[in-house]
Structure 1
Amino acid sequence: MNTSLSLENQVCFPIYALAKEIVQHYRPFLDALGITYPQYLVLMVLWKEREQTVGQLGDRVFLDSGTLTPLLKRMEQKGMVERRRNPADERVVNISLTPKGLALEEQASDIPQKLMESMQVTEEEVVALKNSIMKILNKQK
């Protein structure tokens, strides 16, 4: 048997399993805010950038417009974001935060700390893991 094809020897499997586990740890904190994990990702970008096009958001959160557009529509229905066509180019949709979306930033401010406590890891461990992942991701660009 070729051991290089054993599930235990794959780097992708523990990363896949860890990603699912991390999202599960986020769930109670995000449920309390009435948002999903992908919505949280969008909000984090908008809390920093304030306004983005759908294309810019997709690039930042690694979602295509077919996935992002319905997600943004739901966020708009919940009153978190506003979608507006760009007057200079009707094909471009600008996304900005509403007061409700802005207010969620303060409510979410303790999520990173709560997540580390929930996963029983230190900030140093999280930073080391993130740095290793980013090293691989940045080599792909």
Structure 2
Amino acid sequence: MKDKTIDYILRATWQAVARMYNEEANKYGASMATGFALLTIDKDNGSPSTALGPRMGMEATSLTRTLKSMEEKGLIYRKKNPSDGRGVLVHLTEEGKEKRELSKSTVLQFNEVIKAHVNEEQLQHFIEVAEVINELISEKKIFENKEDNK
């Protein structure tokens, strides 16, 4: 990947990770989005449905579709938010909590295998570079003033 652009490397790597997670989730009749949602929903108190999209980086329509599928599979249920009658809390069912643990162990296994093949210094550099990229993007420093980037 030496001659590839940074964005290509990020995209290709993320697509490989997503494909890997989807293949693993498929074994259990789920998807990566389902696993991510299971890990994002507060397992004890539930989570406001409106907070899930931003925390997961998902568009509302995709999140709605994912939550509907999870509800049909008996992984979640929705309940009125007692603090805000207009809102809805998404709770995990017992099966949802079991699948959450499975998702959690899958993510932890991924992390363990990567850490076994990448030393601490390399991992720290990777994290630092990712943080710089995210910061530059969030502060709109990539395209805002092209002259300033030279």
Q: Same fold (TM over 0.5)?
A: yes
Is 1:137 paired with 2:134?
yes
Q: Which of 79, 88, 93 is equivalent to 1:93? A: 88
Q: Structure 1: where are the runs of 5+ without partners?
A: 1-7
In our comparison, the structure showing a higher alpha carbon Rg is 2
Name the CA distance, whole Å, in 2 between partners of 1:126 and 1:104.
Answer: 29
3-state SS in 1 of match to 2:27: helix
Deviation at 1:48, TM superposition (A): 5.8
Which of residues 50, 65, 68 is equivalent to 1:70?
65
The CA deviation string for residues 68-118 of structure 1, in whole angstroms up to 9 with x for no partner, is 11110100000111123436433x222111111111233334313543548
TM (normalized to structure 2)?
0.71
What does residue 16 of structure 2 align with? 21
Q: Which deviates more, 44-53 or 32-41?
A: 44-53
Partners of 1:109 and 1:123 in 2: how far apart? 23
Equivalent residue of 2:30, what SS?
A: coil
Kindly provide the CA deviation profile for residues 29-61 of structure 1, in whole angstroms up to 9, marking residues without a partner as x: 222332211111111112567411122101101
**SS of equivalent residue, structure 1 residue 33:** coil
Q: Which runs of 5+ in 2 are unaligned?
A: 140-150
Give the 3-state SS of the residue equivalent to 1:96 in structure 2: strand
Q: Name the aligned partner's letter for residue 27 of structure 1.
A: N
Q: Shift of residue 129 of structure 1?
A: 2.8
Instruction: Give the structure with the higher percent helix.
Output: 1
Question: Does the residue aligned with 1:95 lie in a helix, a strand or coil?
Answer: strand
Identical aligned pairs, as a percentage?
Answer: 20
Whether the 8 Å contact between 1:54 and 1:65 is mirrored in structure 2 is: no
| Aligned CA distance change for structure 1 residues 85 and 133 (closer, same or farther; 3 Å) | same
Separation of aligned partners in 2, 1:102 and 1:37: 16
Q: Name which of structure 1's ranges 76-85 and 46-55 shifts more when overlaid on structure 2.
A: 46-55
Asked whether the 8 Å contact 2:43–2:91 carries over to 1, the reply is no
1:55 aligns with 2:64: no
On the 8 A contact 1:45/1:57 being kept in 2, the answer is: yes
